[in-house]
Amino acid sequence: MKLLVFQHIDCEHPGQLREYLRRDNIDWTAVELDAGEPIPALEGFDALWVMGGPMDVWDTEEHPWLVAEKQAIAHWVETLKRPYLGLCLGHQLLADSLDGECGPMPVPEIGVLDIELTEAAGQDPVFSALPKQQAALQWHSVQVVRAPSNSTVLARSDTCAIQAMRVGDCAWSMQYHVEVEPDTVANWARVPAYRDALIATLGEAALAPLQQAASDNLGDFISNSGLLYDQFMREARRHIG
C-alpha cells in the first residue's frame, strides 16, 4: 500500500500513527503544502491522510495552495473513490472540498474533552470498534456546521455536533486528534496561533494543566488510535483490492 499524507505545518504530522505505519512497513509520502511542496499525481497512491494546521479552510488568499488541495481532495473522494482519513483541519477540508460547510465556533474547543459516538457509528466499519465514550485532545476554533451530501455523522460533543463523519463508503474524518504523542501538546504550544488560542480560551496558566491531562489520558489515546488505524487500514485494503 502507498499512502499520501498532506501536512500543513511541520509539527502536525501523523504522530503516534507513524508507529503503526512503521510496524506494518507502509510506504508513505508526506507533502508539506505550507512549504510549497507540490501535490504529486494522486493515481499513484492507495490512501490519503490529511492532517491538521493553524490555517482555516477559507484562508485561500494567505495560503493559495489550499485551492489546489481542496481540488485534490474532491478528486480523490468523488472521482477516484479511494480511502481518506482527515484529522482536525483535514476533517474541515473534507467538508469544504465537497458541499459541506465550516464556520467559527462561538467558543473554541480546546482541552482533553469528551466525545460520544452516535448510534450510526455502531454500524460503521471503522468506528464500530471504538469506545462509545472517549476523552480526546481538541484544539480548534472552527467546526463543520453542515456535513456533505452522502455523509454519516459518527461522533459528537456538547459543543460540536459533527466531531466525526464518513462520506460515502471510504472517507472518514474527525475534528479531534487521535495522533497524540507524549510531546504533542508541548510542540503545538510553540505555534503562535495555537498558543494564543489556548491562552484566550483557558487563560495564561492553561498549558501545564493541558499537558497533564494529555499525559493522564495518553494510554487511552494510544489504544484508540491503534483501533482506528487498524480498522481504517483493513477497510482501505478492502477498497483497493
Q: What is the layout of strands, in order, in the sheet containing 133-146?
A: 27-32, 2-7, 47-50, 84-87, 171-174, 164-167, 151-156, 101-117, 133-146
- For the chain, which ranges sit under pLDDT 70? none
Catalytic hit among 8, 12, 88, 235: 88
179 included as an active-site residue: yes
| Eight-state DSSP code of residue 147 | P
Number of domains the chain contains = 1
Predicted confidence at residue 240, as pLDDT, reads: 84
Q: What is the CATH number of the domain that holds 116?
A: 3.40.50.880
96 contacts 57 by C-beta, under 8 angstroms: yes
| Helix, strand, coil percentages, rounded to 5, for the chain | 40, 25, 35
Predicted confidence at residue 107, as pLDDT, reads: 93
Residue ranges making up the domain that contains 227: 2-240
- Scanning the chain, the segments in alpha helix (DSSP H) are 17-23, 65-74, 89-97, 184-188, 192-202, 207-216, 218-240
pTM: 0.97
160 included as an active-site residue: no
Predicted confidence at residue 219, as pLDDT, reads: 98
Catalytic hit among 12, 69, 109, 179: 179
177 included as an active-site residue: yes
51 contacts 91 by C-beta, under 8 angstroms: no
Instruction: Render pLDDT for 140-194 as a digit per residue (tens, 0 to 9).
Output: 999 999 999 999 999 999 999 999 999 999 999 999 999 999 999 999 999 999 9
Q: Which residues pair with 136 in a beta bridge?
A: 113
User: Under 8 Å CB-to-CB from 168, ≥6 apart: which residues?
Assistant: 77, 81, 150, 151
Catalytic hit among 63, 177, 181, 235: 177
